[in-house]
Amino acid sequence: MAKRKSEPTRHIEVELKFDAENAEVAPSFDGLSSVTHVEFAPTQHLDAVYFDTADHDLARHRITLRRRTGGEDAGWHLKLPAGPDARTEVRLPLGDESAEVPEQLRDVVLAVVRDRPLGPVARIATTRGVQLLRSADGAVLAEFCDDQVVATAGDVEQRWREWELELVESDDRELLDRLSRRLLDAGATPAGHGSKLARVLDAASPPPEPVESDDPIHRAVTELIGELITWDRAVRSDTDDAVHQMRVTTRKLRSLLKEDSDPDEWILDELRQLAALLGVARDAEVLAQKYDDALNDLPADLVRGPVRERLVDGARKRYETGLRRAIAAMRTPRYFRLLDALEQVVTTPPSGGEAASLDSAYKRVRKAAKTAKAQADSPDRDEALHRIRKGAKRLRYTAAATGERKVSEAAKTIQSLLGDHQDATVSRTHLLAQAEAAHLADEDTFTYGVLHQREEELAQRCRDQLDSALKALRKAMK
């Protein structure tokens, strides 16, 4: 029987770091109401090799990847940003003596490293004194570490002393603050770096300064590219709502990049295709949730036949298939080249061409609304309404990037309203197809008709509210 690969485990790490070079006394934790006992653990000798690309791409994204021996948690550790003072740590066992980065960990950060090789960039040896801060019931609330560090990167060697505070069986941020004050009272200062690796790499090879820009569109694009990388990781781990958020980010990027005076058509087309690929999974996810909620709302006597299996279970299977295809595409050189091109956009100053125009974006919405009104009774009505939504979405993103909050909110209302209309339109088509399949299988099709009617009523409510939403947008534009 083939041996199964170890599955990564994930842990949230909440910690603070302090420079302790000038500390003359050890911190005291006496008198803290929640800490009743301090246990001194045996001294640990830790040896870690850190991995990154030649250009330190992981470090630039505040990510660390190491293979560490010694201590209770020896193994491969991948640390990802998870908010202020917190990181998500993904762990794997040491395995054999190979220095090859495990594929499971490489895949997590593939959007950052792409097809560039990962190799050792630093070695850090730490002699660690540990104090476990326990509560009255014996639980370990926090861990205090006194580290003597020797770090090398290339020909550069550094030595320093630092202190760390980490919450263990607690999420009490107030306790962390109280403990921090004890360290500051002992002469420590907040660390100038987020990690030991960041400190040694800054000394060996200072990171390049980011491009500063006064252009709000360029700043918004820069932020969105960072968000795209973050949502990429979430999609790979199938985090709730990640596909939706990555798709939204992709569409925002495309919309804002179209405002450039000379947009890169290849990037725009690749973003369009990426959004469409994510859309397969996202559309299935929407339908699964929609039908699950609708069937739960219906009286039991109106739910007839294996309708839940066809609608809910079927949509969930399509989601899983769509997710696998999306992730497969996100492991290809084509996807990496798109990320390279987007990175080039970030590091290149804006061209200084004509600024994005709210007026031109609004004119597109007005034109689409005029067309939709003329086609109110035609078979093309739903497509015409969908074009209003696309125009409102583009206006919303431009307005948000340029600080026009009222316009952005008014455009968002139209986008949401017609998004519900589009979902109802797609759902009705899907219900007809599933009802036909059920009929051919001699199943009761009554419930499909009930759901179809509900979707038609939802679409009508959306159309009824559109005029007032358009008036609100017109008022916001004045």
Please state whether 83 falls in left (phi above 0), alpha (psi between -120 and 50) or beta: left
Token pair 């405002």 in the structure block, residue: 259
| Residues 179 and 133: beta-carbon distance below 8 Å | yes
Using CA of residue 133, residue 136, residue 140, residue 141, what is the dihedral sign?
Answer: negative
Q: How many CB atoms lie within 10 A of CB 471?
A: 11
Boundaries of every domain in the chain:
9-204, 210-349, 357-478
At 386 the three-state DSSP class reads helix
Type and span of the H or E element at 464: helix 446-477
CA distances from 328 to 165, 177, 324, 356, 429 (A): 40, 44, 6, 35, 29
pLDDT at position 170 is 77
What pLDDT score does 269 carry?
A: 97
SS3 46: strand
Cα-to-chain-centroid distance, residue 318:
22
Looking at residue 227, its amino acid is E
The secondary structure of 240-295 as a DSSP string is TTHHHHHHHHHHHHHHHHTTSSS--HHHHHHHHHHHHHHHHHHHHHHHHHHHHHHH
DSSP β-ladder status, 156-167 and 9-19: antiparallel
Closest CA to 122 of 184, 26, 204: 204
Cα 130 from Cα 132, distance rounded (Å): 7
Q: In this predicted structure, what is the pLDDT of residue 407?
A: 94
Residue type, 291: Y
Q: What is the CATH number of domain 9-204?
A: 2.40.320.10
pLDDT attached to residue 234: 93
Token pair listed for 55: 């250009």
SS3 label, residue 217: helix
pLDDT at 219: 87
Q: How far apart (Å, rounded) are the C-alpha atoms in residues 72 and 42?
A: 11
CA atoms 315, 320, 323, 329: torsion sign: negative
CA distances (Å), origin 395, targets 72, 223, 360 = 54, 18, 9
Q: How many CB atoms lie within 10 A of CB 252?
A: 24
Q: What is the pLDDT of residue 348?
A: 79
Q: Which residues make Cβ contacts (< 8 Å) with residue 451, sequence separation at least 6?
A: 291, 294, 295, 311, 427, 431
Residue 1 is predicted with a pLDDT of: 36
Say how far apart CA 475 and CA 407 lie, in whole Å.
9
Q: What residues of the chain score a pLDDT lower than 50?
A: 1-4, 355
**Spatial separation of the C-alpha atoms in residues 380 and 384, rounded to whole Å:** 6
d(CA 140, CA 85) in angstroms, rounded, equals: 19
Tokens of 70: 């010694």
Q: What is the pLDDT of residue 20?
A: 92
